[in-house]
Amino acid sequence: MTNPLKDPKTNPFEIATAAAEQIAKLSGVAKHEIALTLGSGWGKAAELIGETVATFDASEVVGFNPPAVVGHSTTIRSIRLHNGKHALVLPRSHWYEGHGIRSVVHPVRTAAAAGVETVVLTNGCGGLNPAWKPGTPILIRDHISLVYKSPIEGANFVDLTDAYSKRLRDLARSVDPTLDEGVYVQFTGPHYETPAEVQMAKAIGGDLVGMSTALETIAARESKLEVLGLSLMTNLAAGIQTTPLSHKEVLEAGKEAEGRISALLAEIIAKL
């Protein structure tokens, strides 16, 4: 099946509405209040936050693409939280997968259409601060997108002043007061940065480097969702760590931290 998002004549919000209707049918849950994207290292949180009501493959839902990368999930999961709210765990489509920017933000738009008001975007990333050890979770305070493309279509001048909700960052710190904050710089990937690019990210005010999240946040703000961004620093960025980066090591660092950070995320979600 070809993805209708790839036809520029279609309306991505209509497709998101259709996707949300399919999710309501497949899950038996009419309205979800919270959406989560669980990046590298965060997957276990889905087990901890409540009771899974339904799981299905995202390819059953319009606009979602088939799997691409080892370690990434394409399952959609509907969870009934311990407090009775309903959360939707959605897969991520990365810019580097080449399905286009509409695919990158389709999960967020689908969440909004499903009734969601709060979206929790998590990722694995590289860190610029040598004091951060691999396996450290960091709150995203702000971002810089080096994708140089907006997911917004048409002249909709979305404000991003408080894109990563101060209220939600404070709430996260009420669970773990040791959580640090940082500015996330989204590169296109899939290659990691050169050491010179990492120094550029630092010079322009970045603390974290990754390949996701910023575009999703922009679309989330367009759809009036409140955003909580959490990064798992799995590696020091290229040139800051002296050894070469490997996807395998990144996955291992994620696995090592997974139990700890997923428990943290579950505690935060219980307070949303």
104 binds ligand 8IG (CB under 6 A): no
Q: What is the largest CA-CA distance in the chain?
A: 50
Near ligand 8IG by CB under 6 A: residue from 12, 43, 124, 135:
124
CA distance 93 to 115: 21
135 binds ligand 8IG (CB under 6 A): no
145 binds ligand 8IG (CB under 6 A): no
Please identify which of the residues 33, 97, 193, 226 carries the catalytic annotation. Answer: 193
37 binds ligand 8IG (CB under 6 A): no
222 binds ligand 8IG (CB under 6 A): no
184 binds ligand 8IG (CB under 6 A): no
Q: Select from 60-68, 86-94, 133-141, 189-197 the region that touches ligand 8IG (CB under 6 A).
A: 189-197
Cβ distance 206 to 128 under 8 Å? yes
From the CB of 125, what's the least distance to ligand 8IG, in Å? 5
Tokens encoding 13: 């919000």
43 binds ligand 8IG (CB under 6 A): no
Near ligand 8IG by CB under 6 A: residue from 192, 225, 240, 268:
192
Tokens encoding 101: 């920017």
From the CB of 203, what's the least distance to ligand 8IG, in Å? 16
100 binds ligand 8IG (CB under 6 A): no
Cα-only R_g, the chain: 17
Tokens encoding 167: 């209220």
213 binds ligand 8IG (CB under 6 A): no
The residues in 226-255 that bind ligand 8IG, with binding defined as CB under 6 A, are 234-235, 237, 245, 250
Active site residue 193: yes
Neighbour tally for 94: CB within 10 Å: 21
CA distance 121 to 229: 5
For residue 190, whether the previous peptide bond is cis, meaning omega lies within 30 degrees of 0, is yes
Q: How far is CA 179 from CA 121, 137, 245, in A?
A: 16, 7, 25
CA distance 25 to 19: 10
Strands 136-145 vs 50-57: parallel, antiparallel or unpaired: unpaired
Give the footprint of ligand 8IG on this chain (CB under 6 A): 40, 124-126, 187, 189, 192-193, 209-211, 234-235, 237, 245, 250
Catalytic machinery residues: 193
